[in-house]
A and B are shown apart, each in its own frame.
Chain A
């Protein structure tokens, strides 16, 4: 009973076998969503492949390649690379604060030769890897020990700090939420969780007072009453709601959205791409998209709970949660339920780094799936 999976894990799969093991249904699903995104980019460009759709398509193809390659790499290799990846991401994150250049009022980008990187995007994946690696070796009791908890919180807190000073509130939230969710999944005791939640509840007003930037406060205030300044800061929210709402039940039809084509939508090709989707495909199309996203997440949870090592499970669940947080924050934001924070809609929004990191994340998820039978000793550090 114990020996069968162990034996299975011993057997090394060939590349062909691994490719057959890939959950191609999930890949197809991802492909459908990404194609929808590319169609939207074609639409907001007024029915042109330039400047966004074609570029996004090429990134998706590269991302698909990355996904498949990552899927065939043994999950234990990824385990060995977890800490180095985290270290590199953290260094880049520090570098971007020192030498990065500003895009849209925040320092988020770094140029590595011809490639422009958003280290905060890398950090989201790296943190999941590193935390999964760290928590893999800890039993439920050990996770709640102050020392281990302290180390884990530092692993979350240090990058979060560098991302928040960029400033990039949205990504910070995702990093912190991801990290905390992994601690929770690893079995963190409720004796920690309950007071922590209470502390967060009291910290919000303090953060409002002392931590948030003026532009962030302005966003919150604008969110609370967008019509008060409908042509100024409230413009984004007001116009986004008009775009989605005017789609009605069945939408205005592909290429017939007026809000984005006539530039009423800000950031129409990036963070607000979903509004164009809602405008052109209406309630029916939007809910269908949400269902596709939900199915992807369902697959993610299924892969996570089906894996036989704690690292794999945490990694798969971390990637899935990361994907979910993107959708949640972006969705709530463009529909005017939370203030505007700069978070793209995964697979839909235009942007190279986001597309590649999301696809790489799915690659890791798929690696977990392909190597779901692999068992890793609690004190193992990987295979390289």
Chain B
């Protein structure tokens, strides 16, 4: 049998033909592969290059340390402390974020509300952004998380910084607080820092007013990460700029004394340097703990703050507006001297009441004070004296002097939310009510009632200007970073020195001459004597019948209906250095505000912060001096 027959030949031919056919098919497939490579690497290469870089590089924003806040002697009033926290990165949580939260919940306690908040935050952010799950952990909790880390994909333990207010509620109305960024905050602010989950910005007080300086500039870290998000190495690092420190004019020692002295009263008190307007202490009580807002305030705690009738959230110093009552009388007295009305011979006779038309204006003292000069009017706080004086002066002159003493307009203190008291004018009443100004209106204003209102801060400014005779403005911030805040030396007030001296003397008699309305509360220690003026702000109008019954004596009334007690003072009398304004809401009984102001002024004088060298950092440039040629 032939080995190589016809059949073999034909099938060899078939094989070769079909092999070449398959070879052609294979060449075609290689062509497809090469075409695909062209597509991926050349046509779309740039796009894939970008995606590979995106894969590889994560850009992380770094929050710079927030600037600290110091008092004038370098005491830290707001600083940063370590914050042990747990972050979650959605794209690395291989079993899903909810599962991850459940697992974390087995290691440290997480509430349902917290979980909800975290899920919401995760949904708002890109998948690679670390979102805080729990903050301010104890070292023990933090260690537990670290120990279980291998079983917690996507979880990053982190040591961040959190704001701390070491003196809790003592300075809350000055410092304010920081809290989480709200969606509204992001609308008007394009700082990338706000996009860092868990970032806090200033919401009130200095923290808010100087937020830009305190924040600093965002830094960034470019890191190479692997597919699991683990950082392999850092490719670039921009530390950003740390926030600037802020130095206040406050003396923490006095501030603490004031805060403790006000105690639980619904009260406000300001201590100023009369020569410069620097605020030495400023408190509104009751306060609240600003740390609560930083770590997250609970609904219950918030409710407690809002329903409290002592209004802890309100800064009564600059946002509380009250009728100044008798603390306005020095303004009227000064206007009387300025107008040439209250000459040294000027006398008003008080028999307990005066009339205008068929309306009777009562003096607080039923029997009347007899005949009084200007100083006597202030000493006795005689209502009839000031009704009469105001009536003769007219509102225009009173308004003019009140404005010169800093009332009727915001003082411009470096805090958000300052309210302005009010000094009425003829034009205003005509415009507002369509009625002409009446003499009776002027008379009410003469004793600080009627349309006149002021904040305790404005009263502090009033008394400071009277005491120094200078056109000072209140100041709270001495330095931002290394830059002292700009201010010009205060010019003398556009008021006669003679008038100011007479008003000071009247105020001296209030406290230091027997029979003065605050003589019982004087500072007896030689050299520390204060001059002051008491005041009562009516919360409600009394009826004629109540007047007769003696309800105005107040102690019979429910707390909320009682008058507010006011007191303004400066000391020492001979050479005024410090001024103080004090308000106790519904506190007219027993004059607690006078006692407080006395104690505070005495304490301040004895410590004498103005006599001690402040610890403000000296600007570097001024140390080096001018270069030698």
Q: What is the interface of chain A, defined by CB distance below 8 A to chain B? A: 2, 5-6, 139-141, 181, 184-187, 231, 239, 241-249, 258-259, 262-264, 278-279, 282-283, 286-287, 290, 293-294, 297-298, 301, 304-305, 310, 313-314, 317, 321, 324, 327-328, 331-332, 335, 337, 375, 377-378
Contact = CB atoms under 8 A, between A and B. Distances in A.
- Determine which residue in B8, B11, B32, B225 has the highest number of CB atoms from chain A within 10 A of its CB, and name it: B11
A186 B45 contact: no
Given A290-B34, A332-B33, A243 B52 contact: yes
Interface string B30-71: 101110111011101111110111011000000000000000
Q: 10 closest pairs, A vs B, by CB?
A: A245-B48, A246-B52, A262-B226, A248-B45, A283-B41, A263-B227, A245-B40, A139-B7, A187-B14, A264-B227
A115 B30 CA distance: 35
Contact of B11 (A2, A140, A184, A244): A140
B365 to A, nearest CB: 84
Contact of A185 (B15, B30, B232): B15
A266 to B, nearest CB: 9
Contacts of B10: 139-140
Interface string B1-44: 11111011011101110111011001101101110111011101
Contacts, number: 158
A148 to B, nearest CB: 13
Nearest to A3: B4
Contacts of B227: 239, 262-264
Interface in B263-314: none
Contacts of B51: 242, 245-246
B15 A262 contact: no
- Determine which residue in A286, A298, A314 has the highest number of CB atoms from chain B within 10 A of its CB, and name it: A286
A287 B38 CA distance: 9
Given A258-B52, A262-B227, A283-B38, A249 B45 contact: yes
B161 interface: no
Interface string B214-257: 00000000001111100010000000000000000000000000
B37 A287 contact: yes
Contacts of B56: 258, 262
A332 to B, nearest CB: 7
Q: How large is the interface on B (under 10, 10 to 19, 20 to 34, 35 or more residues)?
A: 35 or more
A277 B30 CA distance: 17
A2 B2 contact: yes
A315 to B, nearest CB: 12
A181 B25 CA distance: 12
B91 interface: yes
Given A185-B15, A245-B48, A314-B15, 8 more contacts: A140-B11, A184-B18, A245-B41, A245-B47, A245-B51, A249-B41, A263-B228, A313-B12
Given A6-B3, A304-B19, A244 B228 contact: no
Given A140-B14, A258-B56, A244 B40 contact: yes
A263 B226 contact: yes
A262 B26 contact: no
A304 B27 CA distance: 17
Contact of A186 (B7, B15, B40): B15
B400 to A, nearest CB: 74
A53 to B, nearest CB: 20
Contact of B41 (A187, A278, A301, A375): A278
A282 B20 contact: no
Given A290-B30, A313-B15, A377-B3, A259 B36 contact: no
Contacts of B55: 239, 242, 258-259, 262, 264
Contacts of B52: 242-243, 245-246, 258-259, 279
A310 B8 contact: yes
A287 B34 CA distance: 6
Contact of B48 (A140, A181, A246, A327): A246
A245 B18 contact: no
Given A258-B52, A263-B226, A247 B11 contact: no
A294 B29 CA distance: 10
Nearest to B91: A231
Contacts of A294: 26-27, 30
A244 B48 contact: yes
Nearest to B26: A324
Contacts of B27: 294
B218 to A, nearest CB: 26
Contacts of B91: 231
Contacts of B42: 248-249, 283
Contacts of B14: 140, 185, 187
Contacts of A140: 7, 10-11, 14
A264 B11 contact: no
B44 to A, nearest CB: 5
B13 to A, nearest CB: 9
Contacts of A243: 52
Given A181-B22, A290-B30, A321-B22, A242 B48 contact: yes
